[in-house]
Chain A
Amino acid sequence: MSHAPGEGLRTRSSGELPVRVVSARVSLTTRLANLWARRELLVGLIVSDIRIKYKNSTLGLFWSMVSPAFTLGVYYLVFSIFLKNGYPNFVIYLFSGLVVWNMFQNSVNTATGVIVDRAALVKKVSFPREILALSNVGAAIVYFVVQLSVLIIFVAAVRHAPAWKFITILPISFLSLYFFTAALAVVMSAINVYLRDMKHLMEVLLQLWFWMTPIVYSYSHAIAPHLQRHGLTWIYFLNPITLIVVTFQRVFYVSTIVHSTVAPHPLIDVLPTWSYDKFLILNAVLLGISVVAFFVAEAIFGRLEGDFESVL
Chain B
Amino acid sequence: MVDVIAVEGVSKNFKIHHERHQSLKERLLHPRSGTTEVFDALNNINFTVSEGETLGIVGHNGSGKSTLLKCICGVLKPSAGEIRLRGSLAALLELGAGFQTELSGRDNVYLYGAMLGFSRKMVDGIFDDVVAFSEIEQFIDTQVKFYSSGMYVRLAFAVAVNVDPDILVVDEVLAVGDERFQAKCVDRIRRFQQEGRTILLVTHNADQVRALCDRAIVLDGGDMIADGATRDSLRIFREHLMADAVEHDPSHLLGSVRIESVSTPSGSFEVKSGAGLHLDVSVVSQNAYSGNFVIELFTHNGTLVSRSDAQGAPVNLTPGHNHVVVDLSHVPLLDGVYDLNVGVTDPLGHNVVAWSERAATLQVTYDGREGGIVELGASIRQE
Contacts and interface: CB of A to CB of B under 8 A. Distances in A.
Interface of A: 1, 3-4, 6, 8-12, 14-15, 17-24, 26, 37-38, 40-41, 44-45, 48, 51-52, 55, 120-121, 123-127, 194-198, 201, 305-307, 309-311
Contacts of B110: 44
Contact of A24 (B1, B70, B81, B88): B81
Interface residues on chain B, size class? 35 or more
A22 B71 contact: yes
Given A41-B114, A125-B98, A48 B103 contact: yes
Contacts of B52: 1
A3 B16 contact: no
A48 B99 CA distance: 11
A310 B16 CA distance: 7
B234 interface: no
Given A1-B51, A38-B117, A22 B97 contact: no
Nearest to B25: A197
Given A9-B194, A12-B197, A48-B111, A21 B117 contact: no
Interface stretch (B72-80, B276-284, B291-299): B72-80
B97 A125 contact: yes
A56 to B, nearest CB: 9
A310 B97 contact: no
B117 A22 contact: no
A45 B79 CA distance: 29
Contacts, number: 145
A19 B196 CA distance: 18
A127 B82 contact: no
A245 to B, nearest CB: 30
A21 B75 contact: no
Interface string B179-209: 0000000000001001111000000000000
B73 A126 contact: yes
A3 B24 contact: no
B78 A4 contact: no
Nearest to B97: A124
A16 to B, nearest CB: 10
Given A44-B114, A124-B98, A195 B27 contact: yes
A19 B25 contact: no
A125 B160 CA distance: 12
Listed residue (B91, B100, B191) with the most chain A CB atoms within 10 angstroms of its CB: B100
Given A124-B97, A197-B23, A310-B17, 16 more contacts: A1-B196, A8-B191, A10-B195, A18-B86, A20-B85, A21-B83, A22-B71, A22-B78, A23-B82, A38-B117, A44-B114, A124-B75, A125-B98, A126-B75, A309-B14, A311-B20
A196 B22 contact: yes
Interface of B: 1-2, 4, 14-17, 20, 22-25, 27, 51-52, 70-89, 91, 93-94, 97-98, 100, 102-103, 107, 110-111, 114-117, 119-120, 143, 166, 191, 194-197
B256 to A, nearest CB: 40
Listed residue (B24, B75, B119) with the most chain A CB atoms within 10 angstroms of its CB: B75
A14 B114 contact: no
Listed residue (A23, A26, A52, A196) with the most chain B CB atoms within 10 angstroms of its CB: A23
A139 B94 CA distance: 28
Contacts of B14: 309-310
Nearest to B2: A14
15 contacts: A3-B196, A15-B2, A18-B87, A22-B83, A23-B83, A41-B115, A44-B110, A44-B120, A52-B102, A124-B93, A125-B93, A195-B24, A195-B27, A196-B22, A310-B15
Contacts of B143: 55
A132 to B, nearest CB: 11
A306 B81 CA distance: 14
